[in-house]
Every structure is written in C-alpha cells, then in structure tokens.
Amino acid sequence: MNIQISIKEQTLTLFDEDKQLKQYSISTARNGPGELMDSECTPCGKHIIAEKIGEGAAVNSVFVGRETTGEIYDPALRKLHPKRDWILTRILWLSGTEEGKNKGQKEGNNVDSYDRYIYIHGSPDDVDMGQPGSRGCVRMRNDEMIELFKIVEVGTEVVINL
C-alpha cells in the first residue's frame, strides 16, 4: 500500500502496488506547499504514517494534542471555539523520510513533518474539500477518513506532490 497526495489536484489516492484502490477529495494548506516549522504549509516529499490515533473514537470526536477531548463536534461547539483548528474522528500522523527536506533541519531551520504535527485527519462536514484551506495538514471527510484509517498501517508510504 502507498498513498499519493496531489496538492494541485487536492486529491489523496490509495494504491496497492500500481493499482488504484481509492481516491478522495481533500484539503491541504491554505498557505500552499512548504516545509518550514510554523509556516502552516503542507510539506512535500516522501513520508510514512508514523502513528495511527483515534481507533474506535466516535465520528466527529474532537482531538486536541492528539487526545480526545470528550467533545463531539457540532456547529454550536464551533461557535464556542471559533479559532480552533478542528481535528476530528481519526489522525494519521506523518513523519518525513527525506533528511533536510521534510525531516530534521535545513539551513538551521526545522523542516521535520513529525515535529510540525502534520496529519491526515477528519474535518467538520461543512469544510470544503477540493480546495486548500488547512493549516498544513491534509483534511478529509470523516467517513472517508475512517475508511482510509482501517486500510492503512503504520509505516505506509505517503508521497505529497505539488
């Protein structure tokens, strides 16, 4: 299994060897591609799924710091926390594998996707897919996130391309 993410097309495609199994509409960073810490950009290059978080959590479970808060997302909760970056349902935490590109340091700057907390994660149903809008992560619809989460394993390769 491997995952190909296209920033240009705003798609996540799951492959088994060369056979396409699934394709999902996603939302990557509003700020575009980039690897620097605090840039709120989506990092390019080769990654792996380092951790799977949230197995068995209810749909729309809210995560903060990779822990469920006990809250279930709804529009009323959004009104209470209008600035929160909604990470829902499941998390696939990515780790870059290219030293100096998306892992470690580049010219003294942190470019490490894992340190940047770059995830593939579920989002509120009213978040538009197919266009950039995240703070660096890859957003998916919750039902599709659950489907993908069940299929992939820790160690699955994820390549993010322009």
In the prediction, which pLDDT does 130 show? 98
The two structure tokens encoding residue 144: 């599709």
Q: Measured between alpha carbons, how far is 82 from 162 in angstroms, rounded to an integer?
A: 30
Contacts for 149 with CB less than 8 Å, ≥ 6 apart: 52, 54, 55, 90, 92
Structural domains in the chain, CATH included, are 27-156 (2.40.440)
Chain mean pLDDT for the chain: 97
Task: Please report the pLDDT score of residue 78 as a whole number.
Answer: 94
CA distance 154 to 9: 25
pLDDT digits (tens, 9 = 90+) for 115-139: 999 999 999 999 999 999 999 999 9
pLDDT score at 33: 98
| pLDDT for the residue numbered 74 | 95
**Burial bucket for residue 18 (CB in 10 Å: 0-12, 13-18, 19+):** exposed
E-strand ranges in the chain read 2-6, 11-16, 19-25, 45-53, 61-64, 67-72, 87-96, 105-106, 109-110, 119-123, 138-141, 157-161
User: What is the model's pLDDT at position 20?
Assistant: 97
pLDDT the model gives residue 127: 93
The two beta strands, 119-123 and 138-141, are: parallel
Say if strands 2-6 and 157-161 run parallel, antiparallel, or are unpaired.
Answer: parallel
Of the candidates 25, 11, 21, 7, which has an alpha carbon nearest to the alpha carbon of residue 150? 21
Mean pLDDT for 22-41 is 98
Render pLDDT for 51-81 as a digit per residue (tens, 0 to 9). Answer: 999 999 999 999 999 999 999 999 999 999 9
